[in-house]
Amino acid sequence: MARGYLTKRGDSWRVVVDAGTDPITGKRRQLTKTVRGTKREAEAVKAAMLTQVAEGRAVRTGATLGELLEAWYVANSAEWSPRTALENRRIINAVIVPALGSRKLAKLRTADIDAFYGRARAGEFGGGKPLAASTVRKYHAVLRSSLQQGVRWEWLAVNPVALAQPPRGKRKEPTPPTPEELSKLLGRSEAEEPDFYVYLRVAACLGARRGEMCGLRWTDFRDEFTVVELQTAVVISSEGVVVKETKTDRLRRVAIDASTADVLASHRSAMEERARVCGVALARDAFLFSYEADGSKPWRPDSVTRRFNSLRDGLDLGHVRLHDLRHYVATRLIANGVDIRTVATRLGHASPTTTLNTYSHFVTEADRDAAELLAGLLPVGLSATESDTGDD
| pLDDT higher at 205 or 40 | 205
Q: What is the mean pLDDT of residues 193-203?
A: 97
Q: How many residues does the chain have?
A: 392
Backbone angles phi, psi at 217, to 5 degrees: -120, 160
* pLDDT tens digits, 128-139: 788 889 999 999
Q: Does the pLDDT of residue 383 top 60, yes or no?
A: no
Domain positions in the chain are 4-54, 65-152, 179-369
The CATH code that applies to domain 179-369 is 1.10.443.10
pLDDT recorded at residue 58: 59
Q: Does the pLDDT of residue 391 top 70, yes or no?
A: no
pLDDT recorded at residue 392: 47
* pLDDT tens digits, 47-87: 877 776 665 555 667 789 999 999 999 999 988 888 889 99
Q: How many C-beta neighbours within 10 Å does residue 274 have?
A: 17
Q: Does the pLDDT of residue 387 top 50, yes or no?
A: no
**Geometric angle at alpha carbon 388, from 386 and 392, rounded to 5°:** 90
Nearest Cα residue to 208 out of 124, 93, 288 = 288
pLDDT recorded at residue 205: 95
Integer angstrom CA distances of residue 269 from 7, 198, 254, 341:
87, 13, 22, 35
* pLDDT tens digits, 226-236: 999 998 999 88
- Quick one: pLDDT band at residue 269, thresholds 50, 70, 90? very high
**Lowest-confidence pick of 273-282, 294-303, 332-341:** 332-341
Nearest Cα residue to 354 out of 321, 330, 320, 324 = 330
C-alpha 194/C-alpha 216 separation (Å) is: 17
Q: Which residues contact 30 (CB under 8 A, 6 or more apart)?
A: 16, 17, 18, 19
Q: What is the mean pLDDT of residues 154-178?
A: 86
Q: Are 91 and 138 in contact (CB under 8 A)?
A: yes
pLDDT recorded at residue 140: 96
Nearest Cα residue to 243 out of 302, 301, 322 = 301
Q: What is the mean pLDDT of residues 174-200?
A: 96
**Geometric angle at alpha carbon 120, from 114 and 124, rounded to 5°:** 130
pLDDT recorded at residue 59: 61
